[in-house]
Amino acid sequence: MVLRKKKIAPCCSLEEVRKRFIDQMGTHMETEGLPRIAGRLFGLMILELEPISFGDLAHRLGVSRGSISTNSRLIEAKGLIERVSMEGERQDFFRLAEQPYVNMMRGVAARMGETLKSIVEARASLPSNATREDARLQEAEHFFETAVASLADLTTKLCAREPSGEHVS
């Protein structure tokens, strides 16, 4: 599916657009099996150019510090955000990770690779008279091989893109 970018007249203030985007990211990530707050946190980090303190994240998203702690660890482990220290500050700060979308695709590819491995092992273990099961597993194997290869190509293309240059190191 290719979405065409089209410029539309602004309908809302920047803050309204930001809030809507952050909430939509929460819904999208929830659809993928992650907590809604993890998606909202990721959405906020996409929009922010500077690192944000742990406490400010909780305040801006209107959630508890415990929720920020749990969900920041979750999306940090997925390579979507990173923890940074700021000189003279005692609390943690976070920013969007370098190439978070590449990291996201690598995670998807790794999970699909594990599924492929299970399929290959199941096929190898089938008795010789299980032809119908073998055919079904062969179809699944082809799908997952193709998907993993396609994700590897996508990751390579994404890595080749110039970074946005917005990171402050």
Summarised one tens digit per residue, pLDDT across range 88-119 is 888 899 999 999 999 999 999 999 999 999 99
**Average pLDDT rounded to a whole number, residues 138-155:** 97
Tokens representing 133 are 């099961």
Phi-psi region of 6 (alpha: psi -120 to 50; beta: other; left: phi over 0): beta
pLDDT at residue 90, rounded to an integer: 87
Stated pTM of the model: 0.81
What SS3 class is residue 139?
helix
* Residue 168 pLDDT greater than 50, yes or no: no
Average pLDDT of the residues of the chain: 91
Sheet arrangement for strand 52-53: 52-53, 93-96, 81-84
- Helices assigned H by DSSP within 48-130: 54-61, 65-77, 100-125
Q: 163 pLDDT band (50/70/90 cuts)? A: low
Could you tell me if 81 and 96 are in contact, meaning their C-beta atoms sit under 8 angstroms apart? yes
Summarised one tens digit per residue, pLDDT across range 117-134 is 999 999 999 999 999 999
* Residue 167 pLDDT greater than 60, yes or no: no
**Average pLDDT rounded to a whole number, residues 38-46:** 98
Domain 14-96: top CATH class:
mainly alpha
